[in-house]
């Protein structure tokens, strides 16, 4: 995914009110930007670390700048805009990066399904069979290159796992895709130390037939691109 224009760089001051972040520019000016991430952003909030942002030409926006990339304590880059994840995964599917999902004939977005009022990120059809594909963005990197999801308690994430499990029990393919926007993550695991309820739902979903995949990203001020499959630790 190429950014329309090269991202601009500043230095992180602080995130606050959940959706706002202050960034110090080279000139010393402080810019307030939109923070498009509802998670805790653990290990992505290093004060004075380089931070990259995009600018919108929409004059109706109160904050034209959007924070896009953070620098982690380990020096790696993390794409913190969770709104980019679905587009990144779609591009990866179109490029044939996921062999088990190649050959789809129809792709629909945000389709209502399940019994708990959910919407699936992608509904694919492969050989006339539906495939339910849910995407989650991973930015939490910890020891030994391991990434974790979620980075905070996520009742919504657990609900999506229950919905996927129900589809698998009904005989459909159901896939959870971790979109890993972090250059230092080499494998992904469920964050049982952060959200044991989500972890329990994850393991139950896997036992009932939900497939779990992860894609790693290449990140720069010009683009973010998913370019490789990553292993998922099931233990």
The count of other CB atoms within 10 Å of the CB of residue 75 is 11
Topology of the domain covering 82-233: Trna Endonuclease; Chain: A, domain 1 (3.40.1350)
Q: Can you give the C-alpha Rg of the chain in angstroms?
A: 18
Q: Measure the CA–CA gap between 135 and 123, rounded to whole angstroms.
A: 11
Residue 186 near residue 148 (C-beta atoms within 8 A):
no
| Mean pLDDT, all residues of the chain | 96
Q: Measure the CA–CA gap between 30 and 13, rounded to whole angstroms.
A: 9
Q: Tokens standing for 1?
A: 């995914």
pLDDT, position 121: 97
Q: Measure the CA–CA gap between 162 and 120, rounded to whole angstroms.
A: 12
pLDDT (average), residues 227-235 = 94
Cα–Cα distance list, 182 to 13, 126, 170, 195, 212 (Å): 21, 30, 34, 21, 18
Using the predicted structure, report yes or no on whether residue 235 has a pLDDT greater than 90.
no
Q: What is the pLDDT of residues 28-41, one digit of tens each?
A: 999 999 999 999 99
pLDDT, position 59: 86
Residue 185 near residue 146 (C-beta atoms within 8 A):
yes
CATH tag for 8-79 (out of 3.20.20.70, 3.40.630.30, 3.40.47.10, 2.40.50.580): 2.40.50.580
Q: What is the pLDDT of residues 139-184, one digit of tens each?
A: 999 978 999 999 999 999 999 999 999 999 999 999 999 999 999 9
pLDDT, position 13: 98
Residues in the chain: 235
pLDDT (average), residues 94-107 = 93
Using the predicted structure, report yes or no on whether residue 109 has a pLDDT greater than 80.
yes
Q: What is the pLDDT of residues 199-211, one digit of tens each?
A: 999 999 999 999 9
Q: How confident is the model at residue 106 (pLDDT cuts 50, 70, 90)?
A: confident
pLDDT, position 148: 98
Q: What is the pLDDT of residues 50-89, one digit of tens each?
A: 999 999 988 889 999 999 999 999 999 999 999 999 999 9
Number of H helices, E strands in the chain: 3, 16
pLDDT (average), residues 17-23 = 96
pLDDT (average), residues 113-122 = 95
* CA 182 to chain centroid: 10
What residues does each domain of the chain span? 8-79, 82-233
């Amino acid at each position: 995914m190429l950014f329309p224009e090269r991202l601009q760089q500043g230095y992180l001051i602080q995130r606050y009110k959940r959706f706002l972040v202050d960034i110090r520019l080279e000139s010393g000016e402080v810019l307030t930007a939109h923070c498009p991430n509802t998670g805790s952003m653990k290990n992505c909030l290093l004060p004075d670390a380089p931070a990259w942002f995009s600018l919108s030409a929409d004059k109706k926006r109160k904050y034209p700048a959007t924070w896009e990339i953070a620098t982690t304590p380990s020096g790696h880059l993390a794409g913190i805009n969770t709104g980019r994840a679905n587009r990144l995964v779609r591009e990866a599917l179109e490029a044939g990066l996921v062999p088990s999902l190649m050959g789809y004939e129809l792709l629909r977005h945000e389709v209502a399904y399940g019994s708990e009022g959910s919407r699936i990120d992608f509904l694919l059809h492969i050989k006339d069979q539906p495939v339910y594909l849910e995407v989650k963005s991973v930015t939490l990197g910890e020891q030994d290159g391991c990434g974790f999801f979620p980075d905070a308690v996520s009742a919504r994430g657990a609900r999506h796992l229950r919905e996927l499990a129900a589809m698998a029990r009904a005989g459909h393919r159901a896939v959870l895709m971790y979109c890993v926007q972090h250059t230092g993550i080499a494998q992904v695991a469920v964050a049982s130390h952060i959200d044991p309820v989500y972890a329990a739902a994850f393991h139950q979903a896997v036992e009932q037939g939900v497939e779990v995949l992860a894609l790693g990203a290449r990140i720069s001020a010009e683009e973010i691109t998913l370019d490789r499959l990553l292993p998922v630790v099931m233990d």
